[in-house]
Chain A
Amino acid sequence: MPRILAQDITKQFRSVVALDHVSMEFEHGKLTVLVGPSGCGKTTLLRTVAGLEDPTSGDIYIGERRVNDVPPWHRNTAMVFQNYALYPHMSVFDNMAYPLKARGTPRKEIRERVEGTARSLGIAELLRRKPRELSGGQMQRVAVGRAIVRKPDVFLMDEPLSNLDAKLRVEMRAELKRLQKNLGVTTIYVTHDQAEAMTMADKLIVMRNGHILQAGTPEELYLRPNSVFVAGFIGSPSMNFSGCRYDPDRGLLVAPAFSYRIPEQLKAVASHSAGAPLVLGVRPEDVGVSTEPQPDAIGATVYMSEPLGRENLLTLEIGDSTFKVLAPPEILVTLDQRVWLTLNERRVHLFDDATEKSLTNTNGLP
Chain B
Amino acid sequence: MTRRQRDLWHKILSVLVTILLAAFGLFPLYWILLTSFKTPGTEFRPPVTYWPVVFSLEAYKTILGPDFQVQRAILNSLIVSSCTTVGTLCLASLAAYTIARLKFRYKWSSLLFIQIASMLPPIIVIAPTFLIIRWMGLLGKLPGLIIPNIVYNIPMSTWLVASYFAGLPFELEDAAKVDGSPPLKIFWQIMLPLTAPGLFSAGVIAFLGSWGEFMLAFTITMGLPQVQTVPVAILSYSVAFMQQWTWISAGIVLSLIPVIALVVIFQKWVVRGLTLGSAKY
Residues of A within 8 A of B (CB): 47, 50-52, 71-75, 77-79, 81-83, 85-89, 98-99, 102-103, 130-132, 146, 156
Contacts and interface: CB of A to CB of B under 8 A. Distances in A.
Contacts of B185: 102
A89 B273 contact: yes
Contacts, number: 78
B42 interface: no
Given A79-B178, A99-B179, A102-B185, 16 more contacts: A52-B174, A73-B177, A73-B179, A79-B174, A81-B175, A83-B281, A88-B281, A98-B179, A102-B179, A102-B180, A131-B279, A132-B276, A132-B278, A146-B175, A146-B179, A156-B178
Which of A50, A78, A85 has the most chain B CB within a 10 Å cutoff? A85
Contacts of B172: 85, 87
B171 A85 contact: yes
Interface in B140-192: 169, 171-172, 174-182, 185, 189-190
A87 B188 CA distance: 13
B175 A73 contact: no
**10 closest residue pairs by CB, A with B:** A132-B279, A102-B180, A85-B171, A88-B279, A99-B179, A85-B175, A72-B177, A89-B277, A79-B178, A89-B193
B232 interface: no
Nearest to A133: B279
10 contacts: A47-B174, A51-B177, A72-B177, A74-B180, A77-B178, A79-B174, A79-B175, A79-B178, A132-B276, A132-B280
A81 B277 contact: no
A73 B279 contact: no
Contacts of B277: 88-89
B194 interface: yes
Interface of B: 169, 171-172, 174-182, 185, 189-190, 193-194, 273, 276-281
A72 B178 contact: yes
A98 B180 CA distance: 9
A85 B190 CA distance: 11
B174 A85 contact: yes
A88 B169 CA distance: 11
A98 B177 contact: no
Contacts of B179: 73, 78, 98-99, 102, 146
Contacts of A156: 178
A88 B171 CA distance: 12
A73 B180 contact: yes
A99 B190 CA distance: 13
Contacts of B189: 98
B276 A89 contact: yes
Nearest to B281: A83
Between B190, B277, B279, the greatest number of chain A beta carbons within 10 A of the residue's beta carbon is seen for B279
B194 A83 contact: no
B169 A85 contact: yes
B174 to A, nearest CB: 5
Contacts of A78: 178-179
B275 to A, nearest CB: 9
Nearest to B180: A102
Contact of B178 (A50, A82, A89): A50
Contacts of A51: 177-178
Contacts of B169: 83, 85
A103 B180 contact: yes
B181 A102 contact: yes
A88 B270 CA distance: 15
Contacts of A98: 176, 179, 181, 189
B280 A99 contact: no
Contacts of B176: 87, 98, 102
Given A51-B177, A72-B178, A73-B180, A83 B279 contact: no
A131 B280 CA distance: 9
Contacts of B180: 73-74, 99, 102-103
B140 to A, nearest CB: 43
Contacts of A82: 171
A88 B275 CA distance: 10
A82 B175 CA distance: 11
Query: Which of A51, A102, A131 counts the most chain B CB atoms within 10 A?
Result: A102
B198 to A, nearest CB: 14
A116 B185 CA distance: 27
A131 B277 CA distance: 9
Contact of A81 (B171, B193, B276): B171
A42 B280 CA distance: 27
Nearest to A78: B178
Given A81-B171, A83-B171, A88 B278 contact: yes
Of B174, B175, B194, chain A has the most CB atoms within 10 Å of the CB of B175
B177 A87 contact: no
A98 B181 CA distance: 9
A163 to B, nearest CB: 11
A132 B280 CA distance: 7
Contacts of B273: 89
Contacts of A87: 172, 175-176, 190
Nearest to A80: B175
A57 to B, nearest CB: 20
A156 B179 CA distance: 12
A77 B178 CA distance: 6
Nearest to B196: A89
A53 to B, nearest CB: 10
A71 B182 contact: yes
Given A83-B169, A83-B171, A130 B276 contact: yes
